[in-house]
Amino acid sequence: MTVSVTQEGDIACVTLDNPPVNALGQAQRAGLADAVAQTNAMLGLRAVVLLCAGRSFVAGADIREFGKPPMEPHLPDVLAQIEGARVPWIAAIHGTALGGGLELALACRYRVALRSAKLGLPEVTLGLIPGAGGTVRLPRVIAAADALTMVAGGKPVGAMQAQDMGLVDALADADLLDAALRFGATLADRPDPGPVLARPVLNPDPAAFDRLAAKLAARARGRNSPKEAIAALRRALTLPASDALAAERAAFLRLRDDPQSKALAHVFFAERGAGRLDRLKGISAPAPDRVGVVGGGTMGAGIAAACLLAGRYVTLLEQTPEAAEAAAARVTGILQDSLSRGVIDTGQHAACLNAFTATSNAADLSGVQLAIEAVFEDFDVKRAVLAQLETVTAPDCVLATNTSYLDVTALAATMADPSRLVGLHFFSPAHVMKLLEIVVPDAVSDNALASGAALAKALGKITVFAGVCDGFIANRIMSAYRADCEYMLEEGALPWQIDAAMVDFGFPMGIYQMQDLAGLDIAWAMRKRRAAEGKRPANYVRIPDILCEAGRFGRKAGRGWYDYSSGEPLPDPEVERVILDESTRKGIVRQAFAAEAIMARILSVMQAEGDAILREGIAARAEDIDVVMINAFGFPRWTGGPMYLRDQPPRIASD
């Protein structure tokens, strides 16, 4: 039984139980319809409380049913039955009420929520709009501008904010059922607001609504669903409710067949599947509570902050007391910024500071359960640090390296116990970026891998397992298409043309603006090191070196691939001259590149490198590569990623 009905005095309780997140599939819809019929027939009832078993209220329609033939009863019809029930229904919300889950709660006359609950209409993140009355009921419960933010932005709100908006009628501290029953007992003393659909829309400031709609439409760049969400809200404000409901459903069904929503559903499941590794089936490890970080530069400070923000105790080791102090300042700066931006409150901020120690004494790491090194990208420096960690930490402490390119299997081979070493490759800034590559060297133990995975989960990361190779998945693919973009420069393209093609495709910025932001000097140093080791390819492109030799290190120097003297990235004739000269020097006859041709080249290089990565077993599944490219480099999520995209009918429209 996924829906059961019980009675507590003059209140009936309808409990929905469909683990893990009570998604609404056909069985749940049918169960709810039966529960309406059953409670309508019960005598002497004052109200019905609808609550969910397990960790959450309803997290939405069952996404696994999308793409299959529709099955009755349909959600809008079930919600109409709840709204028209003989006695008022009260939704009792814990965990998350999302999408169809919030629409279900909106069909109830009242909503009582645990303080920790979250409520939202995230359908736009799946390329959809609410399809069961969300856009029509919400602006009858909260102000239209707030409704627009929730529907077109897709971000859930906390229960306390929801109460301020008018979405939640009462908050509960602990016993949700008890709070809902007590709320039910007060109904006779309250004026009945009536069914939500019968209420007028709340649009006190139409001009503010229009301004917000214009802003959200501009932000939707390339994505279809936010624009549809705005249109649906407008209809809800202007049309009779029944017409707005019919139009919303039609738009929802149309979007369900849109390539963007299919692609986004692919990414949804790919992100959840990527964190699974066959060899770890049935093996789990507790998330390490006490974490050591060695090196407190850009990455070490970000990793330490990420661990602190996730409630871990962190000891950070630097080379000298002065360096430890500087690293501590970097970490506390990140924590302060998180406080200022409302990511944490003052209590959590104080707890993070209490849980943090910076030291230059390696012995202080003796009690940690997992230690991550983030020292200079140099094999010998890392080898020495790992040897030190092996002596100061307990034998069951897991050791991790954040190396970007070094051979983790070779590093492990230098250790007394190579099974302790796992790669945890964070992206910068480590406390912000959601992606973490878990690198699997040959000798690593299941326990070390499972501990690394457990820490990643505690940090809220999207994880992808990667085999050992130069650059793992993300940096290897990036190196490949960066190299091909350099060939395109020599063959006839200009940096701003390549960037414009990428932005037009949906990337937040092009590869050259990204390089300017990160700084060109580090990669230059690496190229010089590789050249000294005799590792320079025959068709080497000199353009980036020439720019660095001229001091053009990127945004921080005011000049890189672009000129930043006005504050904005502007195409620079000097860069163009360097590029043209190099084409001439190599005897290449330059040809014009259309934006489509540029993107076709970039995509085919990404896909070819992705295929090589799959062939070599570096990634287990093509969708893991999609997850990496979307979360590491801003590959447009609504296309599904490079590997998914290749298997689709021609290009997904970007507008």
Residue 375 lies near ligand NAI (rule: CB under 6 A): yes
Selected range binding ligand 3HC among 53-61, 362-370, 527-535, 646-654, rule: CB under 6 A: 53-61
Residues 481-500 that bind ligand NAI (CB under 6 A): none
Residue 63 lies near ligand 3HC (rule: CB under 6 A): yes
**Out of 122, 288, 302, 544, which residue is the one contacting ligand 3HC (CB under 6 A)?**
122
**Out of 83, 248, 318, 624, which residue is the one contacting ligand NAI (CB under 6 A)?**
318
Residues 114, 91: contact at Cβ < 8 Å? no
Q: How far apart are CA 377 and CA 421, in angstroms?
A: 16
Question: Which of 429, 248, 182, 263 shows the shortest CA–CA distance to 330?
Answer: 429
Q: What is the DSSP letter of 417?
A: S
Q: How far apart are CA 547 and CA 567, in angstroms?
A: 19
Q: What is the DSSP letter of 96?
A: E
Residue 403 near which of ligand 3HC, ligand NAI, none (CB within 5-8 Å, type-dependent): ligand NAI
172 SS3 class: strand
Residue 130 lies near ligand NAI (rule: CB under 6 A): no
Tell me if residue 103 is catalytic. yes
In the set 8, 65, 72, 123, the catalytic residue is 123
Question: Which of 403, 408, 472 shows the shortest CA–CA distance to 613?
Answer: 472
Nearest residue relative to ligand NAI (C-beta): 297
Residue 64 lies near ligand 3HC (rule: CB under 6 A): yes
Residue 59 near which of ligand 3HC, ligand NAI, none (CB within 5-8 Å, type-dependent): ligand 3HC
Q: How far apart are CA 280 and CA 286, in angstroms?
A: 14
- Which DSSP helix (H) or strand (E) runs through 103? helix 100-107
- Name the token pair of 234: 């407008």
Residues 424-443 that bind ligand 3HC (CB under 6 A): none
Selected range binding ligand NAI among 14-22, 73-81, 184-192, 376-384, rule: CB under 6 A: 376-384
Selected range binding ligand NAI among 195-203, 288-296, 465-473, 526-534, rule: CB under 6 A: 288-296
Residue 64 near which of ligand NAI, ligand 3HC, none (CB within 5-8 Å, type-dependent): ligand 3HC
Q: How far apart are CA 297 and CA 304, in angstroms?
A: 10
Q: How far apart are CA 228 and CA 226, in angstroms?
A: 5
Residue 402 near which of ligand NAI, ligand 3HC, none (CB within 5-8 Å, type-dependent): ligand NAI
For residues 159 and 543, which CB has a smaller minimum distance to ligand 3HC in the complex?
Answer: 159
Looking at 220-361, list the stretches that DSSP marks H as alpha helix, in order from N- to C-terminal side: 225-238, 241-256, 259-274, 298-309, 321-340, 346-354
Tokens 């997140």 locate to 21
Distant-in-sequence, close-in-space partners of 280: CB < 8 Å, separation ≥ 6: 446, 449, 450, 453
Residue 61 lies near ligand 3HC (rule: CB under 6 A): yes
Residue 428 lies near ligand NAI (rule: CB under 6 A): yes
Residue 375 CB, nearest distance to ligand NAI (Å)? 4
Selected range binding ligand 3HC among 107-115, 120-128, 377-385, 634-642, rule: CB under 6 A: 120-128
**Out of 297, 492, 558, 571, which residue is the one contacting ligand NAI (CB under 6 A)?**
297
Residue 158 near which of ligand NAI, ligand 3HC, none (CB within 5-8 Å, type-dependent): none
449 SS3 class: helix
- Name the token pair of 322: 């002065």
Question: Which of 488, 489, 487 shows the shortest CA–CA distance to 577?
Answer: 489
Residue 390 lies near ligand NAI (rule: CB under 6 A): no
- How, if at all, do strands 118-120 and 157-158 pair? antiparallel
- Which DSSP helix (H) or strand (E) runs through 141? none
- Name the token pair of 414: 């230098």
Residue 384 CB, nearest distance to ligand NAI (Å)? 6
Residue 374 CB, nearest distance to ligand NAI (Å)? 4
Residues 335, 310: contact at Cβ < 8 Å? no
Question: Which of 378, 358, 374, 368 shows the shortest CA–CA distance to 398?
Answer: 368
Residue 317 near which of ligand NAI, ligand 3HC, none (CB within 5-8 Å, type-dependent): ligand NAI
Site string for ligand 3HC, 14-33 (x = CB under 6 A): ------xx-x----------
Residues 304, 430: contact at Cβ < 8 Å? no
Q: What is the DSSP letter of 45?
A: -
Residue 287 CB, nearest distance to ligand 3HC (Å)? 14
Size of the site for ligand NAI (CB under 6 A): 23
Residues 335, 353: contact at Cβ < 8 Å? yes
For residues 49 and 328, which CB has a smaller minimum distance to ligand NAI in the complex?
Answer: 328
In the set 65, 72, 83, 103, the catalytic residue is 103
Burial of 168 (C-beta count, 10 Å sphere; 0-12/13-18/19+): buried
Residue 381 lies near ligand NAI (rule: CB under 6 A): yes
Which residues contact ligand 3HC (rule: CB under 6 A)? 20-21, 23, 59-64, 75, 96, 98-100, 103, 122-123, 126, 128, 130-132, 134, 272
Active site residues: 103, 123
Which residues contact ligand NAI (rule: CB under 6 A)? 294-300, 317-319, 323, 374-377, 381, 385, 402-404, 426-428
